[in-house]
Structure 1
Amino acid sequence: MSAPSKNDHRKALGRLSLPERTFVADALRAETVGGVLLLVAAIAAVIWANVPALHHSYETVSHWHIGPKTLGLNLSMTHWAADGLLAIFFFVAGIELKRELVAGDLRDPKAAVLPVVAAVSGMAMPAIVYAIVNAVGGGNLDGWAVPTATDIAFALAVLAVIGTSLPSALRAFLLTLAVVDDLFAILIIAIFFTSDLNFAALGGAVAGLVVFWLLLRKGVRGWYVYVPLALVIWGLMYNSGVHATIAGVAMGLMLRCHREEGEEHSPGEHIEHLVRPVSAGLAVPLFALFSAGVAVSGKSLGDVFTRPETLGVVLGLVVGKALGIFGGTWLTARFTRASLSDELAWPDVFAVATLAGIGFTVSLLIGELAFTEDPVLTDEVKASVLVGSVIAAILAGILLKIRNAKYRALCEAEERDEDQDGIPDIYEMDKPEYHLRMARIYEEKAAEHRRLAEVTTGAGDEDARPA
């Protein structure tokens, strides 16, 4: 046997084959895989930050600065993850929002009203819960916005894993709700967490966005045009004092998401298809890695439920989200002409409302922005986001499991075909011939059971007869 040639060996970290590359990219576009990667990164961050032998290296890497000082971009790795990589996530969120506005549920006001109201009330109630807890406990009200956000990647991943038999309308409701939630989270960041404005840099960023829009309108193609321009816009937006992720959202909203004649995919759909694996597989997990690394101990977990700021976050995510989304949806359906989809029941809405309490990515980001002057409180608030998200995920998982079992039983009943004629029985129950056929089948089964019983009894008597 000849020795394998040098070309037969696969290089470590070498280029993947086309089928492998396609498989990996498609996997990263799935909510389940993106949510799992996010969870793995968060767990890795907690372990890295809490193992004594590794804690120092985590702090060193997190605070390591890189980037050109002359451009005002000499940032720590934590800032690069939160302000840079997360802009990719918000770019994809902007495209999703644009698609929902032009081709999704948000295009039709009648269909959009319930998820929009659910999103608004689902952000208002957690803020109210946080404010009440901190007003009573004498805490810091600056973190009111922390529990208002829903992590779309985590929530959809949990729904995809558990809700295999749930109606598709439930996923559409959650997706629309989460997209609107992202929009308001972006507005909250832009309005309430913008530092002193540098109007020259802000003007440059706006001018860059105008150029970006004009190039899109003219049909100019080529990543070598848009990627450098996007980096310039992002850098100017960062230096303006407005949170840099706003640049990603703005560019995502500018993309055309409706299909013109002869197009299989719109430019927005095509670019989202290309960028989503980068967002789900790199940007969001790295953000979680550098943001979720908080010191966790019995005392710190106990403090989560005793300090008003952290308790407000936990109750806002677990209680505020569920009450806000479910209550807002029910009241809207009760007192307006808006109605719930025929495929859904109110227990489904409550399960999804509980699921929306998973406020991981954007909640961590807002937690960093709300308490920049107090690093200790920032870490405690991050811990409370983790605790609240885990509690919401567990409760939602139980509720969704119960609802999934019920829908699975309904599906099995609808697909049952006892007479084996290729037509589900549910579509034939109003036909007399179906009942005659089923009666004949049951009579044949009963006769067969009687014959088996007689044979068994006879065999028993034969064995019992003396030799």
Structure 2
Amino acid sequence: MPRRVAALWPFRPTVRYGRNVAEALRLETVGGIVMLAATLAALLWANSPWSDAYRDLQKLEISPHWLQLGHMDLQHWASGGLLAVFFFIAGLELREELTHGELRDPRDAALPVIAACAGVALPALIFLAVSAGEPGAARGWAVPTATDIAFALAVLAVTFSACPAPLRAFLLTLAVVDDLIAIAIIALFYTEHLSALPLLTGVALVAVYGVLQWRGVRSPWIYVPLAVLAWYFVHKSGVHATVAGVALGMLTSSRETPGPRRTNAEQADHVLRPFSAGVCVPLFAFLSAGVTLNASSLGAVATDRIALGVIAGLVIGKFVGVLGGAWAAVRFGLATLGEELHWREIAGVAMLAGVGFTVSLLIGGLAYTDPAQFERVTTAVLIASLIASAGATIVFRRRMRARARAEVAAGTPDR
């Protein structure tokens, strides 16, 4: 594969951006580990003699009549409520990238953006090709298009401790763009019934939130009720409520403040990111990942073309799409690859992009209402994420050894 290397890495992050990225990486890495523990706990419980209690917990309905939200069990609250906080953080990250990060300069943004777009399109096409002919299969075309940033960063931190900063920035930007595409897909393709009045009310509340942010209002006592009401009305409209989360996050002001005070975006991130990474996403994983794992269930996955399409899309489609998109961007002069990056490391990130999990499970739940089909899809997402993690680990371990040998050779005096 040809390699085109610029004299210098073209992206010059600000000090503030570097600080925020470093904090995000630390918290998301810990969040990935917590989410992994929650997933393992769910799998153990769901495959224990007390599995019925786990299913009862998933279906425990909490929907006061005065809220008029319909039948909302714990699984629905996790996917529609807790994940709204997760997507609020994604909106903050996107705003940060647009204001201070790679996305502020179109040429610097080209590499991860093109890679992310190709990494969404190819998995969808592979899924449709593998699952073609299965009744209702097309509903799940978006399941293998998402990358789970928490799991991906956790794997990267554990397996590639010597990871260069530009590679981390590439992965983070790739995942942020991936999340934005995912939320657009959810809004456009997974909204079945649209109620105009609640939607207009939700949009108006989001607009009021944005105006107050623009005017520099800082009080959380104003923003929290506005955000909750916006979530409520967007949910009532039929649009998935996580859309409200990402919209509010993107409208949160990152305008610099006098003195050492945090910006509104920094303060929101400081307060909510630990809650998202340590509570919201792990609880969603715990309530969604508890599938039955035995010879019969694994055999059902192996013969289900929808599940096989998910695995092929995440493992093959993400790898080829992200790596191929990045290569095409460099090959045709749309982007450059810095000195600190190597194609084998980009290949590792491309493999790591196949760790779908959070958003893949969310879309799977929206696409397939049949519990048996959703369980097969969930099992497929877990299998694909495990394969992608293992493949990325092998690539990164080899790169660490190669870098260590290069450093030793560079430090050896000529004889």
How far, CA to CA, are the matches of 2:90 and 2:374 in structure 1? 25
Q: Which residue of 2 aligns with 1:150?
A: 147
Q: Which residue of 2 aligns with 1:387?
A: 383
Q: How does 1:92-241 map to 2 (within 5 A)?
A: 92-135=89-132, 140-241=137-238
Residue 355 (str. 1) matches residue 352 (str. 2): yes
- Of the three residues 385, 397, 404, the one matched with 1:401 is 397
Q: How does 1:249-398 map to 2 (within 5 A)?
A: 249-260=246-257, 262=259, 265-372=262-369, 374-398=370-394
Question: Is the contact made by 1:103 and 1:258 (CA closer than 8 Å) also made in structure 2?
Answer: no
How far, CA to CA, are the matches of 2:67 and 2:27 in structure 1? 37
Residue 64 (str. 1) matches residue 51 (str. 2): no
Deviation at 1:265, TM superposition (A): 3.5
Question: Is the contact made by 2:131 and 2:306 (CA closer than 8 Å) also made in structure 1?
Answer: yes
- Structure 2 residue runs of 5 or longer lacking an equivalent are 1-22
Give the match's secondary structure for 2:216.
coil
Deviation at 1:116, TM superposition (A): 0.2
User: Using a 3 Å threshold, how does the CA distance of structure 1 residues 157 and 187 change in structure 2: closer, same or farther?
Assistant: same
How far, CA to CA, are the matches of 1:299 and 1:399 in structure 2? 33
TM-score normalized with structure 1 length: 0.80
**1:326 partner amino acid:** L
Question: Is the contact made by 1:28 and 1:34 (CA closer than 8 Å) also made in structure 2?
Answer: no
Which segments of structure 1 move beyond 6 Å, counting only runs of 4 or more? 136-139
TM-score normalized with structure 2 length: 0.90
Q: Which residue of 1 aligns with 2:18?
A: none
Deviation at 1:211, TM superposition (A): 1.5
Percent identity, aligned pairs only? 49
**1:324 partner amino acid:** G
1:222-272, CA deviations, whole angstroms, 9 ceiling, x for partnerless residues? Answer: 222211221111111111100001111011000122425545532212210
Deviation at 1:338, TM superposition (A): 1.6
Question: Is the contact made by 2:147 and 2:355 (CA closer than 8 Å) also made in structure 1?
Answer: yes
Deviation at 1:195, TM superposition (A): 2.0
How far, CA to CA, are the matches of 1:219 and 1:257 in structure 2? 10
How far, CA to CA, are the matches of 2:290 and 2:151 in structure 1? 18
Question: Is the contact made by 1:87 and 1:246 (CA closer than 8 Å) also made in structure 2?
Answer: yes
Question: Is the contact made by 1:197 and 1:240 (CA closer than 8 Å) also made in structure 2?
Answer: yes
Give the match's secondary structure for 2:89.
helix
How far, CA to CA, are the matches of 2:245 and 2:349 in structure 1? 28
User: Using a 3 Å threshold, how does the CA distance of structure 1 residues 368 and 336 change in structure 2: closer, same or farther?
Assistant: same
Q: Which residue of 1 aligns with 2:3?
A: none
Question: Is the contact made by 1:138 and 1:308 (CA closer than 8 Å) also made in structure 2?
Answer: no
Give the match's secondary structure for 1:243.
coil
Deviation at 1:321, TM superposition (A): 0.3
Deviation at 1:84, TM superposition (A): 0.3
**2:40 partner amino acid:** I
Question: Is the contact made by 1:28 and 1:277 (CA closer than 8 Å) also made in structure 2?
Answer: no
Question: Is the contact made by 1:37 and 1:285 (CA closer than 8 Å) also made in structure 2?
Answer: yes
User: Using a 3 Å threshold, how does the CA distance of structure 1 residues 224 and 265 change in structure 2: closer, same or farther?
Assistant: closer
Q: Tell which deviates more after alignment, 217-226 or 149-158.
A: 217-226
**2:199 partner amino acid:** L
How far, CA to CA, are the matches of 2:357 and 2:241 in structure 1? 19
Deviation at 1:27, TM superposition (A): 11
Question: Is the contact made by 1:139 and 1:308 (CA closer than 8 Å) also made in structure 2?
Answer: no
**2:279 partner amino acid:** L
Q: Which has the larger radius of gyration?
A: 1
How far, CA to CA, are the matches of 1:29 and 1:231 in structure 2? 28
Question: Is the contact made by 2:38 and 2:285 (CA closer than 8 Å) also made in structure 1?
Answer: yes
Deviation at 1:109, TM superposition (A): 0.8
How far, CA to CA, are the matches of 1:320 and 1:336 in structure 2? 23
Question: Is the contact made by 1:29 and 1:277 (CA closer than 8 Å) also made in structure 2?
Answer: no
Q: How does 1:16-55 map to 2 (within 5 A)?
A: 30-52=27-49, 54-55=50-51
**1:270 partner amino acid:** Q
User: Using a 3 Å threshold, how does the CA distance of structure 1 residues 192 and 139 change in structure 2: closer, same or farther?
Assistant: closer
**1:322 partner amino acid:** F
**1:71 partner amino acid:** L
Question: Is the contact made by 1:165 and 1:408 (CA closer than 8 Å) also made in structure 2?
Answer: no
Deviation at 1:337, TM superposition (A): 4.1
Deviation at 1:406, TM superposition (A): 1.6
Question: Is the contact made by 1:49 and 1:294 (CA closer than 8 Å) also made in structure 2?
Answer: yes
Deviation at 1:411, TM superposition (A): 4.0
User: Using a 3 Å threshold, how does the CA distance of structure 1 residues 139 and 200 change in structure 2: closer, same or farther?
Assistant: closer
- Structure 1 residue runs of 5 or longer lacking an equivalent are 1-25, 419-424, 426-434, 440-467
**1:223 partner amino acid:** P
How far, CA to CA, are the matches of 1:278 and 1:343 in structure 2? 34
User: Using a 3 Å threshold, how does the CA distance of structure 1 residues 387 and 270 change in structure 2: closer, same or farther?
Assistant: same
Question: Is the contact made by 1:28 and 1:276 (CA closer than 8 Å) also made in structure 2?
Answer: no
Q: Which residue of 2 aligns with 1:242?
A: 239
Give the match's secondary structure for 1:66.
coil
How far, CA to CA, are the matches of 2:160 and 2:255 in structure 1? 30
Question: Is the contact made by 1:99 and 1:258 (CA closer than 8 Å) also made in structure 2?
Answer: no
- How much is the aligned-residue C-alpha RMSD, in angstroms? 1.9
